[in-house]
Amino acid sequence: TKVLQRTRDALDRDCVMPFYQPKVSLASGKVIGFEALLRWTDDSGLRSPGEIAEAFEDPDLAMRLGSRMLDRVVADMRDWSGSGVPFGHVALNVGPREFARDGEGRDLADRVLATLRSAALPASALEIEVTERTLLDDDASIIGPSLRRLHEAGIRLALDDFGTGYASLTHLRRFPVSYLKIDRSFVSQMLVDKGSEAIVGALIGLARNLGMGAVAEGAETAAEVAMLRKARCEIVQGFVFGKPMAASRVRHFLEAFV
């Protein structure tokens, strides 16, 4: 289809890259890391992953997109490390198709750990984000073992879009989840809708009681941040602190951030 061809073109032209959105600790007020978000470009400029959603369902293209993102993220972290940019960590989104074994029989954990090792970066520099759907898709039992090996190596796992899916809570306990990321749809309604406020509070409490951290996504205003602070949310990500930016802007962003 057109989407798949467009994705192939973008990969072949080396026009797929990560943008980075800051994550802020409410306790320290500091940037503790960034989420890597895929961006691609064509003649009309910067495009988002939603426009190539179909490619993430294609086994071959999903693997190519995933390995391009991993390579670029690790290269950016190596550059930042080398020049003393205190980026904290980078959280990489990984979809269900990206766990497959490659031509050399390596699974996601093999690829991630080898790539980090080749750049002499510690496992703590990287986080992995998956959605509930990815955990539910684990029919071949490849995802669970990969995530456990990554966890044992020191890579933290965050459950993305939490609250919007349909994973039962027993799922949470079968996987080594360190953070729950509270979906933007709740955070953006929190000030105007009592139900969303209650859900955000409940999810933060759930994370704490399970020994996990809570990350609120999509905060756009100081009032939302104040409410999240009151609800004892540890980490906030959203336009209020910064939009996704090119790797080349991260150093300046950190220097200017107060």
Query: Which residues contribute to the site for Mn ion (CB under 5 A)?
Result: 93, 129, 160
Q: Does 244 bind ligand G (CB under 6 A)?
A: yes
Q: What share of the chain is helix, strand, coil (3-state, %, to 5)?
A: 50, 20, 30
Using the contact rule CB under 6 A, the part of the chain among 91-99, 119-127, 168-176, 207-215 near ligand G is 91-99
Q: Does 220 bind ligand G (CB under 6 A)?
A: yes
Phi/psi-derived region of residue 84, left when phi > 0, alpha when psi is between -120 and 50, beta in every other case: left
* 3 state SS of 135: helix
- Chosen from ligand G, Mn ion, Na ion, none, partner binding at 48 (C-beta under 5 to 8 Å by type): ligand G
Kindly identify the residues of this chain, within the stretch 125-144, that bind ligand G according to CB under 6 A. Answer: none
Q: Does 161 bind Na ion (CB under 5 A)?
A: yes
Residue whose CB is less far from Mn ion, 106 or 171:
171
User: CA-CA-CA-CA torsion for 151, 154, 155, 161, nearest 10 degrees?
Assistant: 60
Q: Does 218 bind ligand G (CB under 6 A)?
A: yes
Selected binder of ligand G within 37, 116, 143, 203 (CB under 6 A): 37
- Residue identified by tokens 């002499």 is 120
Q: Does 56 bind ligand G (CB under 6 A)?
A: yes
Question: Residue 217 Cβ, how far from Na ion at the closest point, in Å?
Answer: 5
With CB under 5 A, what is the number of residues at the site for Na ion?
A: 3
Quote the CA–CA distance of 226 and 34 in Å, as a whole number.
21
Question: Residue 54 Cβ, how far from Na ion at the closest point, in Å?
Answer: 20
Do residues 251 and 80 make contact, with C-beta atoms less than 8 angstroms apart? Answer: yes
Question: Residue 225 Cβ, how far from ligand G at the closest point, in Å?
Answer: 11
* 3 state SS of 219: coil
Quote the CA–CA distance of 12 and 68 in Å, as a whole number.
11
* 3 state SS of 18: strand
Q: What tokens does 115 get?
A: 């790539």
Do residues 180 and 213 make contact, with C-beta atoms less than 8 angstroms apart? Answer: yes
With CB under 6 A, what is the number of residues at the site for ligand G?
A: 21
Kindly identify the residues of this chain, within the stretch 166-225, that bind Na ion according to CB under 5 A. Answer: 217
List residues binding Na ion (CB under 5 A): 160-161, 217
> Which chain residues interact with ligand G by CB under 6 A?
21, 37-38, 48-50, 56, 69, 93-95, 160-161, 184, 217-220, 238-239, 244
